Structure 1
Amino acid sequence: MQRPLVSIIMPAYNSNNYIASSIASVINQDYQNWELIIVDDFSKDETFKIISAFSEKDKRIKVFRNKSNRGAGFSRNKALKEANGEFIAFLDADDLWKREKLSKQLNFCLENKVNIVYSSYEKIDEQGRLLKQKIKALPFVNYQKLMRSNYIGNLTGMYNAAKIGKIYLPEIRKRQDWAMWLVVVEKGGTAHGIEDSLAFYRIRKGSVSENKLAMLFYNFKIYNEVLGFGKLKSLYWMLVFLGDHFFVKSKQTVSID
């Protein structure tokens, strides 16, 4: 029996220092029925050259390039349009997967008949060194919980597109993955978390994840512009978000040896 095809969505911009390792972490998966769709967002470095070389060696790797810099949301949507898989997964060009990532998540979905899965993950620095921090996945997340904050690490998330369809992202510059997961969960039901750490998230200087003020700005845009809340309602949900951020999400980060 043919196992499901997994389409892996990877936007890339000026990632020549990291993308070869990210691609290698896909190639080295113990589950091999996948396609990797990379969209280069008009990089100014050697990113496109690197991914083209991988594509020449492995036909499962499909490469596209934007004619101008359009942002991660646009690039992910472009990759989604080319995706043929029954399942959709996401990996950014500077992050890494553990070898068993796809197999564990796919088996979980099929055995438990669920549409959406994610997992715990660990942090690494720009050089790929472990920061000895693990972000523990909650056992499950429903739509109301996800409204309070994004509890699905995008590099760990996977959903059954054959069941709920492809879900596209709003083309805002940042935090569009959270908006996408809200729609995925709204359509596909509860997202289920795997406690095992299955990926490595790279912390880079100047990133939005490091810049807390920028993160708050884009969170407000999700409530106000994407979800269509008025400014007062958006401010209320920002307070809800901050409450979860400081009193719930902070407890998900644990030290590891």
Structure 2
Amino acid sequence: MEQDTDAEVEILVGNDCSTDCTKDILEKIEIAPDNFSMKVFNHSQNLGVAQNFCKLMEEVTGEYIVFLDGDDFMLPGKLSTQLDILKKNPEVNLVHHNVCEVNEDGVVTKQRRIKKGVAGSINDIFKACQSGIQSCSIVVRNPYIKDWSVIVPKDSKIVDLPFLLHSLGKGKVFYLNDVLSAYRVIDSSITRTTSVLTFEKNTRFHVRQTIDFGYAKRSFINTSLAASYIRSASAEIVNKKLKLASIYVWRALRLLPYPSNELLRTLLNLIKVVIKSAKS
């Protein structure tokens, strides 16, 4: 990790029956600094991404939480920079930064993945339709949620979004344009192998959860939900299921009595595609 920090750092690893050499590699890792320690949880059976996440979160005791998937990695200076911001700004619950993009061999393919990072509040995250924030860049204050399984169902394919939203709550988001982590693109990752429709269905579920918690304004939540319906409509057009695409477009329109110009243009273009495809 190459992190130079005075903070007490506990690394928690959930090995969910990995078929590669993960277990052997973890056993050989030596934690050199005295302020670093590591706990590895080797599951006897595959739990899936959601249950693995919830099990790990039950073990978290620290004041701050760093989210990092197994295929991504940190760059020097990440922890000290983000922890310093959280300590100096008590109103901030989440700090994130720009990331570079690397291939399976670790070769940089894109210097900056995020074009415009999100700052402000949870409303700004929904306004940006969850874009402009990468999970491997996140450090949050521990929200001390006792049972994450209530928030993240075991069949969910998404854990970073509910983690982000419920850790942030009503606090502030701080964005750094510095590149402090690497996001690895792998064809076999869950992001690449799960269908768009499944991801969007999970996304809408987790976005709707925030209504009950009162984290965000309903208008911004609706913007986020509408964007998800638009992405689902686009996927169904690719699948040549125009009736389903039309239903998703209609649902998006119902949520946006006053859509932004960008969303409105996207919706109109989708409607044109549906009509054109229906005629051909």
> Above 0.5 in TM-score?
yes
Give the structure with the higher percent strand. 1
Per the alignment, in what secondary structure is the counterpart of residue 134 of structure 1? coil
| Contact residue 55 and residue 63 of structure 1 kept, 8 A | no
- From 160, 163, 180, give the equivalent of 2:163: 180
**Relative to 1, partners in 2 of residues 1:76 and 1:224: Cα closer, same or farther, differing over 3 Å?**
closer
Q: Larger relative contact order (C-alpha < 8 A, sep ≥ 6)?
A: 1
**Relative to 1, partners in 2 of residues 1:225 and 1:108: Cα closer, same or farther, differing over 3 Å?**
closer
Aligned to 2:93: 115
Structure 1 Cα separation of the partners of residues 205 and 13 of structure 2: 30
Equivalences for 1:206-225 in 2 at 5 Å?
A: 206-210=188-192, 214-224=195-205
| 1:155 paired to 2:133 | no
Per the alignment, in what secondary structure is the counterpart of residue 135 of structure 2? coil
| 1:30 paired to 2:4 | yes
1:83 Cα deviation (Å)?
1.6
1:218 Cα deviation (Å)?
1.2
Runs of at least 4 residues of structure 1 off by over 4 A?
55-59, 240-244
Aligned to 1:144: 123
Q: Calculate the aligned-residue CA RMSD, in Å.
A: 3.1
| 1:60 paired to 2:50 | no
| 1:227 paired to 2:208 | yes
Identity of aligned residues (%): 23
Structure 2 Cα separation of the partners of residues 45 and 209 of structure 1: 19
Equivalences for 1:66-77 in 2 at 5 Å?
A: 66-77=43-54
Give the structure with the higher percent helix. 2
| Contact residue 155 and residue 199 of structure 1 kept, 8 A | yes
Aligned to 1:204: 186
Structure 2 Cα separation of the partners of residues 108 and 56 of structure 1: 26
Q: Which runs of 5+ in 1 are unaligned?
A: 1-24, 248-257
Aligned residues: 213
State which drifts further: 167-176 or 58-67. Answer: 167-176
Q: Which amino acid aligns with 2:60?
A: A
Q: Which amino acid aligns with 1:67?
A: S
Per the alignment, in what secondary structure is the counterpart of residue 149 of structure 1? coil
| Contact residue 120 and residue 198 of structure 1 kept, 8 A | yes
**Relative to 1, partners in 2 of residues 1:158 and 1:225: Cα closer, same or farther, differing over 3 Å?**
closer
| 1:131 paired to 2:143 | no
Per the alignment, in what secondary structure is the counterpart of residue 19 of structure 2? coil
1:220 Cα deviation (Å)?
1.8
Q: Which runs of 5+ in 2 are unaligned?
A: 212-221, 233-261, 267-280
Structure 1 Cα separation of the partners of residues 202 and 89 of structure 2: 35
Structure 2 Cα separation of the partners of residues 184 and 151 of structure 1: 17
**Relative to 1, partners in 2 of residues 1:103 and 1:215: Cα closer, same or farther, differing over 3 Å?**
farther
Q: Which amino acid aligns with 1:236?
A: A
Query: Which has more radius of gyration?
Result: 2
Per the alignment, in what secondary structure is the counterpart of residue 122 of structure 1? strand
1:102 Cα deviation (Å)?
0.2
Per the alignment, in what secondary structure is the counterpart of residue 42 of structure 1? coil
TM-score, with structure 2 as normaliser: 0.66
State which drifts further: 144-153 or 85-94. Answer: 144-153
**Relative to 1, partners in 2 of residues 1:224 and 1:94: Cα closer, same or farther, differing over 3 Å?**
closer
Structure 1 Cα separation of the partners of residues 141 and 77 of structure 2: 18
TM-score, with structure 1 as normaliser: 0.71
1:208 Cα deviation (Å)?
4.3
1:173 Cα deviation (Å)?
4.3
Structure 2 Cα separation of the partners of residues 49 and 139 of structure 1: 38
